[in-house]
Amino acid sequence: PLYMSLVKAIADDIEAGRLPKGSRLPTHRELADELKVAIGTITRAYDEAERRGLIYGDGRRGTYVGELPRPKSLLASLSKGFSMGIDLSKNHPAYAYDPALTEAVRKISRRTDCGHLLEYPPAAGFPEHRRAAAGWIESLGLKADPENLFISGGAQHGLMSAFAAEARPGDIIATEEYSYPGVKAAADILGLQQVGVAIDDEGIIPDALDAVCRKKDVRLLYCNPTFQNPTNAVMSLERMKQIAAVAEKYNLTIIEDEILSPFMDSNHGFIAGLIPDRTYFVISSSKAIAAGLRVGFIVAPVRSRQKLSEAIQGISLGLPPLMAEIFTQWYENGIIEKTIARRKREIAVSQQIAQKILGGYDIKSHSSSYHVWLKLPENWTSLDFAVETQMRGVAVAPAEIFAVDPKSSLDAVRISVGSAPNHDILKTGLEIIADVLSGPKRAGVVTV
């Protein structure tokens, strides 16, 4: 049948590389007109190709080559290298401003008592490392008892451990409707169901969270109150109080991700400070100090210490103590404070460049945030825009990577201005993005 011949043509083009994964196919009408066949033939062909996993339909956005992205592949997509151009898709700190590691390692090597750093640590970490972490967190505005503080291998490990401690397969976790992809990956691995909650410029909307909790048996709430990834929402203290009230009403446990809070000019509080008995506070050195310093910290509710200890042990047997020792040394000699201050200065300049180049478009930014959230003009979908900028040599992260609902209708991209090696490269990348925004959309090409 003709429709099966079309399916074979699609398969052949994919195999030959003429239809790369992620390519947008013509609409049913466009392809029917091009091939001069009935539109029903195209519909049958696309349906069969989707059944076979060759393509997927994404609502009004159109039809794309490949299977509908899964949570684990979304996180992996942000970890892949982009070697042929300017990568503004990953939200890590610029490596150029990392602290000097040589002196820290040399100082540790001169100690006669450093052998214990090769031993298995306690589940929560060595006491001296926990005390340093508690001091750092207190400087950010949250009183942290070292007895309730656990060291993890970065924020992702911390989130995974908290989820594993509090939830079982099938439980529902509520998050922002556009959320950090690592949460989706963790939920998928642990067999948790994820439901998105509507957000505004202050993050999760309390009434929307209340409505979700009325309809569903939500077990956990994950939220990212400071420079929310990807939308840059910042939760006010009043909003935090409202979220805390909903959590109390429905007996929710909250996982509060505050990985970017060290960059806030002034702290206005944390949810963990309002309801510490039901909130896990998670933070990491990866954004504030150095991406490769995989040291995270979890301030846990007192009632959950044993559960969290078992989860951390079950997942990783604790963090390698050498990493925590470097963090402790840098905290005690003031390098962490100096590194954060420098990163804030560099980020402020990066955001000024972004405002100058993209300020005429619908962007959500902040002078201390690593990223910009760009809502696209009507003539662009986020996937098409990301493909077009990448063809011009600049990688950005489309909204689909963050959407809890894979068929979400928002067309936006996250641009990570804080990860550029220097401001000249950032300026070049943003100018290319602006050029794509100001020009016409590239016409699609019928391949089959």
pLDDT tens digits, residue range 383-400?
888 878 887 889 899 898
Residue 236 clears pLDDT 50, i.e. is over it = yes
Give 305's pLDDT tier (boundaries 50, 70, 90): very high
Contact between 234 and 258 under an 8 Å Cβ cutoff? The reply is no
Give 205's pLDDT tier (boundaries 50, 70, 90): very high
Share of the chain above pLDDT 90, in %: 64
CA distances from 368 to 78, 227, 242, 288, 349 (A): 22, 8, 25, 11, 10
Confidence at residue 5, expressed as pLDDT on a 0 to 100 scale: 83
Residue 2 clears pLDDT 60, i.e. is over it = yes
- Secondary structure (DSSP) of 36-101: T--HHHHHHHHHHHHHTTSEEE-GGG-EEESPPPPHHHHHHHHHS---SSEE-S-----GGGPPPH
pLDDT tens digits, residue range 8-55?
888 888 878 888 888 889 999 999 999 999 998 998 888 878 877 788
Confidence at residue 20, expressed as pLDDT on a 0 to 100 scale: 86
Nearest Cα neighbor of 220 from 290, 286, 166 is 166
Q: How many residues does the chain have?
A: 448
Confidence at residue 68, expressed as pLDDT on a 0 to 100 scale: 52
- Secondary structure (DSSP) of 215-253: HS-EEEEEE--SS-TTT-----HHHHHHHHHHHHHHT-E
Average pLDDT over residues 332-338: 95
Give 221's pLDDT tier (boundaries 50, 70, 90): very high
pLDDT tens digits, residue range 113-128?
888 888 888 889 999 9
Give 444's pLDDT tier (boundaries 50, 70, 90): very low
Strand partners, 414: 373, 397
Contact between 398 and 373 under an 8 Å Cβ cutoff? The reply is no
- Secondary structure (DSSP) of 27-49: PHHHHHHHHT--HHHHHHHHHHH
Contact between 404 and 174 under an 8 Å Cβ cutoff? The reply is no
Tell me which DSSP letter residue 379 carries. T
- β-pairing verdict for 279-284 and 253-257: parallel
Task: Tell me what the pLDDT averaged over the chain comes to.
Answer: 89
Average pLDDT over residues 164-193: 94
Confidence at residue 135, expressed as pLDDT on a 0 to 100 scale: 96
pLDDT tens digits, residue range 132-171?
999 999 999 999 999 999 999 999 999 999 999 999 999 9
Confidence at residue 447, expressed as pLDDT on a 0 to 100 scale: 40
Residue 448 clears pLDDT 50, i.e. is over it = no
- pTM for this one? 0.81
Confidence at residue 119, expressed as pLDDT on a 0 to 100 scale: 85
Confidence at residue 84, expressed as pLDDT on a 0 to 100 scale: 56
Confidence at residue 31, expressed as pLDDT on a 0 to 100 scale: 92
Residue 78 clears pLDDT 80, i.e. is over it = no
Confidence at residue 442, expressed as pLDDT on a 0 to 100 scale: 53
Q: How far apart are CA 282 and CA 296, in angstroms?
A: 7
Q: How far apart are CA 393 and CA 77, in angstroms?
A: 17
